[in-house]
Structure 1
Amino acid sequence: MKITQTHTIAFFSVLFMLMASISLFAVQKLQYSASAVLASRTAEALAHTVNLARTSYSANIASLRTHPDITVEALYHGKPLSIPNPTTFAIELGESISNPNEGLILHTYSQYPFKSRMLTGGPQDDFQHDALSNLTTETPVFERIEELGGMTVLRHAEAIFMEQSCVDCHNYHPGSPKKDWQVGDIRGAIDVTLPLDGGDDALASTVQYSYIIFMAFSVISLLCMFITLKRTHHLSRELDRKVKMRTTILNKMAYTDSLTLIANRRSYEEFSDNIINQKCSNSLPLAIIIYDFDHFKQINDQYGHDVGDECLVATVKAVSAILPEDNDFHARIGGEEFAIILKHVSNEELENIIQRVLESVRQVNIPKQPDIQITCSIGATLAKELNEPTIKNIVKAADDALYEAKSLGRDQWVNKPYTPNKK
């Protein structure tokens, strides 16, 4: 049982360490996934804000395009009464938001940049080329996680759709590389790059706290399991002990007479059968003594069964006291009938024991009823050889001797010779 318990504890310890490792890996994955989701939402918000600002700006300056003194153009810097066109506005807004040192970059680009922006206004890398190839009306967002400048970043591209004000400008602008734009066409994309490594200490702390709490509960659960296992092991051993003790008691009760506390008839019969099964090779010469109380019914009728039981108990104690140690079997085989089996005795030893049994019964005294005189009749036989499958013929010889003792007037004994049947 100790080995089993040790193995169980070792198994759960290994399981716990494996679970801790898997949990750490899962928590790190969770932190990475949460960072990616958070970055995606942030990039989406930034792109939407810039795109909304561009659209709003384009709509608000539409009326200024016809103003005689104000010009709307890409190269507006240093020119009085000149303002940026919507594309330039979006590009410069993105540049003001960007912080490349921290991995935050916002870039607006198009597949059809104006000639003045051919170097910077078109797609600059593989991601931006892939984004323009994959963005559609049904799929207006394209994302990918990449390594950029030794930093893990999320690249988020969101389509820029042509509004009516944009179509009116681009289709009639002399420098426009494309003049067949329609409302809803994809003009280009807003590319938002956000870092994933160490970008959110609060998120990392929250995930770490979650892992610490999880491991604390796991340790507590493991300790509770060990305590429960130990307690269960203790209770199991205690239960086994009690079951064995109760089984011993029940076995003893099954083979013991409840009043006199010597062997009962069941025990007597099994003991006799065992002698036959062993072919008496280690039991001969074998003697059987059967003694029966004289006029015991009168004692019960006159003094009551309680006194009768007291007489039985006192008599059995007296008889057991004079029997040879480790060489006798004493059993109650009837109401007031008892049997003694002796092994390895001579006829002289048998008759000596019979006389002592008879005398010990006569000397039994019942303190509460000193006038009671107890006697018994005894029948006995001695077998020096046996070639029969049962012991019943030996018992019959002892029974016949008992009957003869009673017929001779009781309070005496008869030793009847036993002769086995010859085949």
Structure 2
Amino acid sequence: MSLRLFCSALCGALLAGGAVHATEPAHAAILFENVRIFDGKGSALSAPSSVLVEGSLITRLSQGGIKVEGEVQRIDGQGKTLMPGLIDAHTHLMFATLPQIAVLTNDVTFTTVAATRAANDMLMRGFTSARDLGGPVFGLKKGIDMGLINGPRIWPAGAMISQSGGHGDFRLPNELPALAGQYSFGERANAAMVADSPDAVRQRTREQLALGASQIKVMAGGGVASNYDPIDVTQYTVPEIRAAVEAADNWGTYVTVHAYTPKAVRQAIEAGVKCIDHGQMLDEDTARLMAEKGVWWSLQPFTDDRKSPFPEGSANRRKQLEMYKGTDHAYAMAKKYGIKTAFGTDALFSAQAAASQGTMLAKMGTWYTPAEVLRMATHDNAELLALSGPRSPYPGRLGVVEAGALADLLLIDGDPLKDLSLVADPAKHFKVIMKDGKIYKNTL
């Protein structure tokens, strides 16, 4: 038997034998009755309605009753809010909850064990989809998709691609200079790959695409968590970033970059990237350029209101505080210029930070109305996911409550369009959590 046939047979056997670990058995049809719908796009809830889910899809909506032939599970929504599952546009599930030193010094299997819990917890917070922007997440994603563990849908970038001394270079000082053909622990684990020429960047991009990346993440500027690079530095050259863009485009997908400063963002746009992650230190001219080019801005509501994983006075903490200062202005520019904006959390190396996912979403009310916040975390983020085109691992529409859309749904006790703080306490307020037509939580 060839290796390909063996792998195909093995996967088929596992899929056939692995029931999805939802809290309730799957039904042919599930009917939500007496719910008020936030459809992901509007600014008001519907009149009391019924929503029918068949298999993995929403099939019918009606403000009257829906007649269903055959077996159906009925859920009396009691006038509560039915809305799309939430989407986090910037995650690192493999690195979310463990301290950085634990990630860098433990076997990747231990990191994966911690990530399985992080994935389940994320789903239980109502985040049914995540764009993962760096880390060896392919195995975790496969386990979720096969029903071996619970977690969100994952759009994986795989390993971050970084220049030497860049934001994704986590080699220790005693590992430098690198010897030819010598790979660091982070590279062997496929967490971050170091590449220092257009050809090397092209190769690393192609490798991640071959492994199943739905988009590519390139480090185009300095960062907070990394040790070598000041936050103001520009990383890579236009030809190097363009090599990643061309390789991704050949696969029908796109490149997003980590960048904070005007120079880093401008050269990334010149190279053809379609999304900027972070950008808290941008100026007006660069924000205007993003709007003109139709580039997405994946922003995170970073403010100095939670415990930092970095010691006070450390270089990392100083970089963090410098970045925090730009958050208010960044959101103001995103609104002023009508830039396509995504919500993400970028929780790293802290179980406390990961658990605050809903709190961070509620904090978005500092800059947007509740309807704008929820639209960003559902419909708008789904549009960003769709940039993966044919490399999207989950065909179908997300982020909306419409006939034909994928059935990722939340039933919330209360009206989040009036009280956005409801999303900060999902354990209390999220009564039903559904992903792909399967119920993972039901406390009605």
Task: Say whether the fold is shared (TM-score over 0.5).
Answer: no
The structure with the greater share of residues assigned to helix is 1
Greater RCO, 1 or 2 (C-alpha within 8 Å, sep 6+): 2
In the superposition, the TM-score normalised over structure 2's length comes to: 0.19
In the superposition, the TM-score normalised over structure 1's length comes to: 0.19
Larger Rg belongs to: 1
